[in-house]
Amino acid sequence: VCILIGRRVLFIEKETIIDQEGRYVIVRGMLLGEEVVLASVYAPNIVPIIKLLSECMLSGGGGDWNRVWDAEVDRSGGPLPFDNKTSRAIRTLARDIGLIDIWRQVHEHDQEFSHMSRAHKSYSRIDMILVLQAVALATIDAQIETCILSDHAPVSLKLPSPKLIKTLSWQLNTALLRDAFSQKAIENEITTFFENNDGTASTSLILWDSFKASLKGWLISFSTARKKQFQKEWVTIEKEVQKLEKTHTVNPKDEVLYGQLLEEKQKLQQLVNSKTEFSLFGSRKNFFESGDKAGCLLVYKLKKQEIVAMIQTIRDSSGGLTFDPKQINDTFKAFYETLYKAEVEVSDEALEEFLDGVELPTLGEEASELLLASISEQEV
């Protein structure tokens, strides 16, 4: 199991507890100025994990708990003999720490599942996110997503977050140069540009700069259209997978329907592979260009110092706390503008009157000539 935190998230790690058998990882740190404890769990045997989590003052934890919250509604085939004991154990853990099954909180009367057992030919909801009451109150949405990469479906939790500063810079998507259709389209665009604009510019430099600007705009438009087409295909297949999964939960023993479901998942997996291939290509390019340079080590050390020195929250002029990086910068700017602002307004007339009464020293003729003279060999 693991916990992944985005690079732009204002998080400072303080302590990490890792199970040697890979069943859980617990991280304590500062998130947006608040101390939090996060856990990712795989719990084939929940008893020792319950004891550990109850001592950690958990803010939220998710993963494969290997048991359902309520056997009556969280299993497609009805409760199993051991469900009462195991379900009671996880509910007791949640009650003792003050945690809530956030998906059930949002979808009180719904029935969805996150795992299918091929051995028992049944569905169950054993993947859950448990959070504190304060987090639950701030929750915007919670969903069980489409199952793609494994036999477990991801569970997502949506919370409000401050706007993070983005650095927008355009770079050529080099994957377009490896695609036959894109190569032909780019070639046609270049040919068309020079056919229509040859001889219209006063110099070849102006023509070349115009071509670069035109091609950049065309590439941005072309890439955006390809991305929208990819996303549309993704959404269409994902909806079909969700539709087939919902139908299959009613009759998990229908092998024909299950075959159709696997076929649609295979199509979705191909899109995932394509997206992963593009990400890996970009990563390999970055490592190839700068992986063996000393600058990488320096950047790594500076990044750690930047995270430690990062100001995550500040009180503004009204006394309220703000976590927005832009508002934090504006607060500092306003403070120093006020600090260094002159308390007395001085007019131009008063300033000239003051300077007229000041006798400033001047250089003599000999000193002026010495300063303007060429540098001698002795001075060098």
What is this structure's pTM?
Answer: 0.60
User: 92 with 67: CB under 8 angstroms?
Assistant: no
Can you tell me the mean pLDDT for 304-325?
71
- Is the pLDDT at 32 greater than 80, yes or no? no
Handedness of CA 249, 250, 251, 254 (dihedral sign): negative
Q: For 77-86, 108-117, 148-157, which range has the lowest pLDDT when averaged over its residues?
A: 77-86
Identity at 333, one-letter amino acid code: K
β 127-132/314-315 pair status: unpaired
Whether residue 291 is predicted with pLDDT greater than 80 in this model: the reply is no
Per the structure block, which two tokens stand in for 337?
A: 């503008």
Task: Please report the pLDDT score of residue 96 as a whole number.
Answer: 78
Average pLDDT over residues 177-191: 86
Asked if the model's pLDDT at residue 88 lies above 70, the reply is yes
C-alpha span between 103 and 154 (Å, rounded): 12
Query: What pLDDT band is residue 165 in, cutting at 50, 70 and 90?
Result: very low
pLDDT of residue 143: 92
Amino acid in the structure at residue 89: A
The SS3 assignment for 184 reads helix
Q: What is the DSSP string of 44-104?
A: SSHHHHHHHHHTTT-SEEEEE-SS-S-TTTSBTT---TTHHHHHHHHHHHHHHHTEEEHHH
**DSSP structure string for 269-285:** HHHHHHHHHHHHHHHHH
Q: Which of 113, 99, 1 lies closest to 50 in space, CA to CA?
A: 99
Residue 220, phi then psi, degrees to nearest 5:
-60, -45
Percent above pLDDT 70 for the chain? 85
Closest to 75 (Cα-Cα) out of 265, 244, 252: 252
CB 21 within 8 A of CB 3: no
- Compare 168 and 327 and report the one with higher pLDDT: 327
Reduce the DSSP state of residue 244 to 3 states and report it: helix
Predicted confidence band of residue 309 (pLDDT cuts 50, 70, 90) = low
Domain ranges of the chain: 11-158, 174-298, 315-380
52 confidence band (pLDDT: 50, 70, 90): confident
Instruction: Flag whether pLDDT at 308 surpasses 60.
Output: no
Write down the mean pLDDT value for the chain.
Answer: 81
- Of 10-19, 119-128, 284-293, the least confident: 284-293
Q: Are 76 and 53 in contact (CB under 8 A)?
A: no
Name the strand (E) or helix (H) holding 351: helix 348-356
Mean pLDDT of 256-263: 88
- Using an 8 Å Cβ cutoff, are 240 and 264 in contact? yes
Pick from 105-109, 229-233, 288-292, 303-307: least confident:
288-292
Predicted local confidence at residue 103, as pLDDT: 92
Whether the pLDDT of residue 126 is over 70: the answer is yes
Pairwise CA distance, residues 124 & 75, whole Å: 4
Domain 11-158 belongs in CATH node 3.30.70.520: no
Give yes or no for residue 218 having a pLDDT over 60.
yes
Predicted confidence at residue 305, as pLDDT, reads 62
Q: Is 15 exposed, middle or buried (0-12, 13-18, 19+ CB in 10 A)?
A: exposed
CA-wise closest residue to 65 among 155, 166, 146, 187:
155
